[in-house]
Amino acid sequence: MKNLVGYIKLSLIATSFLVIVPSVASAQNMGRSMPTFESFDLNKDGTLTESEMNEARALRAKERQEDGKMLRNSKNHYEFSDIDTSKDGVVDKKEFQEHQLRRKR
């Protein structure tokens, strides 16, 4: 009987560990979200030009460095042409959001 109780306790501890560790790891990533369209739309006209996107990207990198945050994937940034799927020289909110969804996959 003592062995059974010990086995149950050990099972509960192991199960708790399996639940707690991923939760802590997930909590550490909270607040790390992809930038919003609005954070790139510096002139608030509802579209992004390539120069506006580059300027917003540079501002974001500067802010993150000043806050002591790492610049994750800064070398792997995307090209404007990857986002401008309509090839009209500007990115609208829909194109931006579709690109964000593709990057999450």
Residue found under tokens 């990533």: 29
Contact between 83 and 93 (Cβ < 8 Å): no
Which pTM does this prediction carry?
A: 0.61
Digit-coded pLDDT (tens) for 43-81? 999 999 999 999 999 998 898 888 887 766 666 678 999
Q: Tens of pLDDT along 1-41?
A: 767 777 777 676 766 666 665 554 444 444 457 889 999 99
* Whether the Cβ atoms of residue 29 and residue 69 lie closer than 8 Å to each other: no
In degrees rounded to 5, what are phi and psi of residue 91? -115, 125
User: Which helix or strand (DSSP H or E) is residue 86 part of?
Assistant: none
CA distance 58 to 38: 15
Give, for 91, the enclosing helix (H) or strand (E).
Answer: strand 91-92
The CA-atom distances, in angstroms, between 29 and each of 3, 32, 71, 98 are 40, 6, 14, 22
In sequence order, the β-bridge partners of residue 91 are 48
